[in-house]
Amino acid sequence: MTAQEAKIAIYGAGAMGTILGALLTKGGLEKVELITRNQAHVEGMKKDGATIVCEGDNTEINVKVNALYPNEMGGNYDVIFLMTKQRHNAEIVSMLQEKLSADGVICTTQNGLPEPSVAEILGNARIYGAATSYGATFIGGGRVALTSKIEAMSMEVGGYKNDGKALLLLKEILSYVQNATGNAEFVKTTDNLLGARWSKLAINAAFSGLSVVTGMTFGEVAKKRKTRKLALGVLRECMDVAKASGVTLAKMQGHDMEKLLGGKTPFKRFIAYMVLPIAMKKHKKLVSGMLKDVQSGRKCEIDYIDGLVVQEGKRVGVETPLCEKIVEIVHGIENGLYEIDYKNADFFAL
């Protein structure tokens, strides 16, 4: 099967999903469906197409797309990109199971380590994962914002405890984003999906978590003295847990995170402190999707990000006090005990 022949669903076409689906369509794929329950967003896309406001590149991309509600889905999908929140995986994957073709696969792009919960329902053989490195915020009515530079966007795809036979098809499909954007480095395949997941998890635990705590963008977190030190501390906690778990971290945008940011000596920590704002430059306008959730009065996925690091740390005997504090403060914000404020950085001990 070729990418042009494949029937593709983007299930969970919020900010990230709309960008992926629109760029696949713009790149030349015709059988791509963007699926979401958000009525205003679906109707906006049906009427005016999907609009991507590229904040990092000061441009806009508008694409006529095939937008659907879940109850409008057909069946026999060859690839479903799962881009919803993890909290509802059991219900959603059970439903999607009936929508797949005989050889169809699900590729989850969710944050954290989502593959086990999907595989519980569908089995390992049909599960793939993608560590997705680009930021987006939801505007609504068919419009989303891409907060990373186009050249910094990437997806690293791997199989979950299987033979990876669908990887070539997934890579071919995602190469259509390269056609749409000119970003030749957008898609890569990996035989170290867990390492790619943990590298992305470390970034999310540090920057998405602190974005909720402080209300700041990733660039602001990396720039201010207190949060820069906190972000580096969280990154090191994640690296220590991953190492104790036997995970080899994948490179992020060609860089070895452990060598660049995980040093233990005073000199290496100083270098990491100076490098961090530069490393985050292409993603400086990112705001955590979890922050948007909390600001909208919804529960966020902190338990699947920093909370997961805490859980895994306990399993392998690694202390994670910074991640624990982030989880505590974020739940406090959700429950009205704290305000979202930079002053929350004072609650941490470094």
What pLDDT score does 159 carry? 96
pTM of the model: 0.88
Mean pLDDT of 100-116: 95
Identify residue 159 by its one-letter amino acid code.
G
What pLDDT score does 11 carry? 98
Please state the three-class secondary structure of 135-184 as a single string: CEEEEECCEEEECCCHHHCEEEEEECCCCCCCHHHHHHHHHHHHHHHCCC
The rounded distance, in Å, linking the Cα atoms of 207 and 225 is 14
The rounded distance, in Å, linking the Cα atoms of 50 and 62 is 6
Nearest to 250 by CA among 198, 205, 187: 198
Find the range with the poorest average confidence among 82-91, 177-186, 237-246, 265-274: 265-274
Mean pLDDT of 311-316: 96
What is the per-residue pLDDT across 221-263, written as a single tens digit (0 to 9) for each? 999 999 999 999 999 999 999 999 999 988 766 667 777 677 7
What is the per-residue pLDDT across 160-170, written as a single tens digit (0 to 9) for each? 999 999 999 99
Rounded to the nearest integer, the mean pLDDT of the chain is 93
